[in-house]
Chain A
Amino acid sequence: MSVGRVVSYGVPAVIGLALLIGLPQLLDLFVLLQVTLYVVMAILALSLAFVWGYGGILCLGQSAFFGLGAYAYAITAFNIGESSLPVVIAILLPTLFAAALGYLMFYGRISEVYVGVITLTVTLILFNAVNSTASPEYRIGSALIGGYNGLPNVPSLNFPFDPDNTLQPDDVYMVAMATLLIVYFGIRWILRTRFGRVLVAIRENERRVEFIGFDARLHKLAAFALGAGIAGAAGCLFVNWGSYVSPTIFSMIQSAQIIIWVMVGGVGTLIGPILGAVALSWLTAEVGTQHVINADILFGGILIVFVLLVPRGLVPMLTEHVWSRVMQPRRKVAVAAKLAAPGGRA
């Protein structure tokens, strides 16, 4: 292993493990709960960072899978009581749903713009469908779906196959943080495999990928389904964070937020969307407590500023600046020498 690779894996691993173990010791419970939410949102951001930033699939409705994961967990947890199987279902259901949707979109060779339109429409349909199930006849097993009232008092996670031993808030934090690390390093590993490289190549030039004999449709379908599974896991953790889920999880605002996190952090990076999700979720919480400015207006403003001034996002901008400072100090010297030379024009 080269030094560069040790650093590029080692640094995030050390920071991640330190946060995983350290924060529950350092922070009081209220703050730790907030941080748990940010971590969950970071996982959600990673799901889109992978699908959009590397797969080139602009999914405008990533919240559909987040919400499906959340509802799948909540409804099965009410029915089963023990959380091991509901967790699996919360990941599997969005994955299969995305696989079916992806099959129609990618095998139907629908153009990129329509993929965006369809995914957005799907999440809005889910929002309306779930929203209108408030009457008590809408139930799945023992779980009332609850419509716009949402599902309160969702049973929380327990240690696997031990229903009486439920996770405490600091345990939930550690599960969320561990999931974030697994997802982050998992995606990095995938991107090094042939599958990941072909995926990036599809983003660059889908036609050429097919000319060299790879089935682009299948690769996109797999990436889309995988991203949905990650979003579903985030949804499952989200329900556990608040033991509550409502249809707003499918809303346009939720979907837009994910896109803004990824954009602000940097499309085509993984650290960027994590930081974007954490920073903007924190900002949303702060703004919410102060009642000075509407959070949506603030978000819209941030989006406009980034699109105009930092279109590639924070992380690509910063790394490029740092990179050019570190790698090309000589150029500056050369320029300075030229300027200092007699006859050189400043």
Chain B
Amino acid sequence: MTTVPLIETRQLTMNFGGVQAVQNVDFSVAEGELRCLIGPNGAGKSTFFKMLTGQLVPTAGEVRFRGRPISGRQPHEIARLGIGIKTQVPSVFDGLTAHENLWLAASRGKRGRAIDRAVDEAIERLMLRPIADRLVGQLAHGQRQWVELGLVLLTEPVVILLDEPAAGMTDDETTRTAELIHDINRTHALIVVEHDMAFIRKIARAITVFDRGKILVEGPAHRVLSDRRVRDVYLGKRAA
């Protein structure tokens, strides 16, 4: 392969004391891709995800963004390179209004009226108009998720990492989130960590399955989801 991957890890390893949460993972995502990371609890997805975003510094190996090593950089530097992060529990500014939340994100790279324009667009796109002036801390869980998504989009990232975007959502909200993810994928690469298999079926194109800190299977959704080993891991038949 001659093209440089958007995000690439080489021999990425993370140890917590004696536990190897992630072991020698080689992984890569191309520009514009939509990739899902799945795996049972404790498979190392979250640790892997945190290393991609700079929240954890790997014990060994490295993370590259468009060929540049980024592991060990400050979180705000990683964000400025174009990596957007949506956390599992919505990470927003609870004491500020939805509008103020979005304004902050837009103000990082923009000036003056461009900020207001971008915020307005995001409010339309995410259908936040009726709640724009309410404190985010008072909004429903699903609405907070969308405010957070707005925050992430307004920083104009190249790739967005989503940690369990459908967690705790109602069915309607999940469907809408799946649509939103496809919509966002037209302009951004996405890496989605997810637990909910129904949601995965709605959005997935390519899937990487983690198990016990390693990549178990990787490939197109239909093949991975019908793979025997994946079913075994999820159903706990491994021991048999």
Tell me the A residues contacting B by CB distance below 8 Å.
194, 197-198, 200-201, 203-205, 207-216
Nearest CB of B to A217, in Å:
8
> Which of the 9-residue segments B89-97, B117-125, B210-218 touches chain A?
B89-97
Interchain CB contact under 8 A, A205 and B92:
yes
Minimum Cβ distance to chain B for residue A343 (Å): 32
Do A197 and B76 contact each other (CB < 8 Å), given the known contacts A211-B84, A212-B151? no
* B57 at the binding interface (Cβ < 8 Å): no
Which A residues are in CB contact (< 8 Å) with B76?
Answer: 209-211, 213-216
Report whether A204 and B93 are in contact in the complex, using a CB–CB cutoff of 8 Å. yes
- From B111, which residue of chain A is reached at the shortest CB distance? A194
4 A-B pairs besides A198-B104, A207-B91, A212-B154 with CB distance below 8 A are: A197-B104, A201-B93, A201-B96, A208-B92
Most chain B CB within 10 A, of A201, A208, A209, A213, is at A213
Chain A residues, CB < 8 A from B104: 197-198, 201, 209, 212
The smallest C-beta distance from A323 to any residue of chain B, in angstroms, reads: 14
Q: How far is the CA of A207 from the CA of B75 in the complex (A)?
A: 8
Considering only CB atoms, which chain B residue lies closest to A198 in the complex? Answer: B104
B150 to chain A, nearest CB (A): 11
Task: Determine whether the beta carbon of B91 is less than 8 Å from that of A205.
Answer: yes
Tell me whether A213 and B91 are in contact (CB under 8 A): no
Residues in A neighbouring B108, C-beta threshold 8 A: 212-214
Most chain B CB atoms below 10 A, which of A198, A207, A212, A216: A212
Measured CB to CB, the closest approach of chain B to A300, in angstroms, equals 30
The 7 closest A-B pairs by CB, nearest first: A213-B79, A204-B93, A210-B75, A210-B76, A213-B80, A208-B91, A212-B105
Q: Are B103 and A197 in contact (CB under 8 A)?
A: yes
Q: State whether B95 touches A204 (Cβ < 8 A).
A: yes
Interface positions of B (Cβ within 8 A of A): 53, 74-76, 79-80, 84-85, 87, 91-96, 100, 103-105, 107-109, 151-152, 154-155
List residues of chain A with CB within 8 A of the CB of B96.
Answer: 200-201, 204
Tell me, rounded to whole Å, the shortest Cβ–Cβ distance linking A314 to chain B. Answer: 20
Q: How far is the CA of A331 from the CA of B22 in the complex (A)?
A: 57
A-B contact pairs, 9 of them (CB 8 A): A197-B107, A201-B104, A205-B94, A207-B75, A210-B79, A211-B85, A213-B79, A213-B108, A214-B76
The answer to whether A204 and B80 touch (CB under 8 A), given A197-B107, A213-B155, is: no
Cβ of A212: which chain B residues have Cβ within 8 Å of it?
A: 79, 104-105, 108, 151-152, 154-155
Cβ contacts under 8 Å, A194 to chain B: 107
Identity of the chain A residue whose Cβ is nearest the Cβ of B100 in the assembled complex:
A197
A205 to B107, CA, bound (A): 17
Q: How far is the CA of A198 from the CA of B154 in the complex (A)?
A: 15
Report Cα–Cα, A99/B17, bound state, in Å. 36
Q: B93 touching A211 by the CB < 8 A rule? A: no
The answer on a CB contact under 8 Å between B92 and A211 is no
Are B79 and A208 in contact, with the CB atoms below 8 A?
A: no
Is B91 a contact partner of A211 (Cβ separation < 8 A)? Answer: yes
In the assembled complex, which residues on chain A have CB atoms less than 8 Å from the CB atom of B100? 197
Residues of A within 8 A of B103 (CB): 197
Chain B residues with CB under 8 A of A216:
76
Q: Cβ of A210 and Cβ of B74 under 8 Å apart?
A: yes
Given the interface pairs A210-B75, A214-B108, A215-B76, the reply to whether A205 lies near B93 with Cβ below 8 Å is: yes
Complex CA gap A5/B225 in Å reads 59
Shortest A294–chain B CB gap in Å is 38
Distance, CA A208 to CA B104, complexed state (A): 10
A201 to B96, CA, bound (A): 8
A198-B53 Cα distance, complex, nearest whole Å: 21
Cβ contacts under 8 Å, A211 to chain B = 53, 75-76, 79, 84-85, 87, 91, 151-152
Cα–Cα, bound, A215→B76 (Å): 6
**Which residues from chain B contact A205 at a C-beta distance below 8 Å?**
91-94
Cα distance A93–B25 in the bound complex, in angstroms: 51
Known: A197-B107, A207-B91. A215 touches B155 (CB 8 A): no
Q: Is the CB of B155 within 8 A of A208?
A: no
Q: Which residues of B contact A204 (CB under 8 A)?
A: 93-96
Interface contact A215-B92, CB-CB below 8 Å: no
**Chain A residues whose C-beta falls within 8 Å of the C-beta of B107 in the assembled complex:** 194, 197
Residue of A nearest to B75 (CB): A210
Distance in angstroms between the alpha carbons of A213 and B157 in the assembled complex:
10
B138 shortest CB reach to chain A, Å: 14
In Å, the complex CA distance between A209 and B154 comes to 13
**Alpha-carbon separation in the docked complex, A205 to B104 (Å):** 12
Query: Cβ of A215 and Cβ of B74 under 8 Å apart?
Result: yes
A212, B107: Cα distance in complex, Å: 10
Give the residue name and chain of the A residue nearest to B106 (CB). A212
CB contacts (< 8 Å) of B155 on chain A: these are 212-213
Contacts A197-B103, A214-B108 hold; do A208 and B80 have CB atoms under 8 A apart? no
B residues within 8 A CB of A200?
Answer: 95-96
Candidates B74, B95, B151; contact of A208 at CB < 8 Å: B151
> Chain A residues with Cβ under 8 A from B92's Cβ?
205, 208
